[in-house]
Amino acid sequence: MEFPSNVKYTKEHEWIRVEGDIAYVGITDYAQEQLGDIVFVDITTEGETLEKDEVFGTIEVVKTISDLFLPVSGEVLEQNEALTDNPELVNQDPYGKGWLIKIKPNDTNDVNDLLDAEGYKALVNE
């Protein structure tokens, strides 16, 4: 299981990676492993400004649908169009090609309140 140190983590198993004033958001390797085969990603919040912990979309696996929570407040700029035809990218490469959305955080310093790799690893190994 991967725990990259270049991202921050939430207790709800999302990750965020800031690049300048834009951030990428996805679900963690642990989350995709627990969910199983992802069959559909539904993100209807593109263009909206949401608060931290608001639902920005859902991810569907064979037997359930799970909400996706925004790690920090900001505007949802773009969803990963590659997931429309290939939702399994989230399973195959959760921190790379399987990213879910790009956002413009209201304040990029908010990511400092999230878990680092060691903190997240401790959370999932409890």
**What is the SS3 assignment for 121?**
helix
The two three-digit tokens of residue 9, written as one number: 């983590």
pLDDT digits (tens, 9 = 90+) for 52-80: 999 999 999 988 999 999 999 999 999 99
The two three-digit tokens of residue 120, written as one number: 């997240």
Going along 46-105, which residue ranges are E strands? 49-50, 55-61, 65-69, 74-79, 101-105
- Mean pLDDT confidence for 76-94: 96
pLDDT digits (tens, 9 = 90+) for 20-41: 999 999 999 999 999 999 999 9
Q: What is the pLDDT of residue 37?
A: 95
Q: What is the pLDDT of residue 27?
A: 97
What is the residue-averaged pLDDT of the chain?
96
Sketch the domain layout of the chain as residue ranges.
Answer: 8-107+116-121
Pick the CATH number of 8-107+116-121 from 3.40.1160.10, 3.30.1440.10, 3.50.50.60, 2.40.50.100: 2.40.50.100
d(CA 84, CA 40): 7
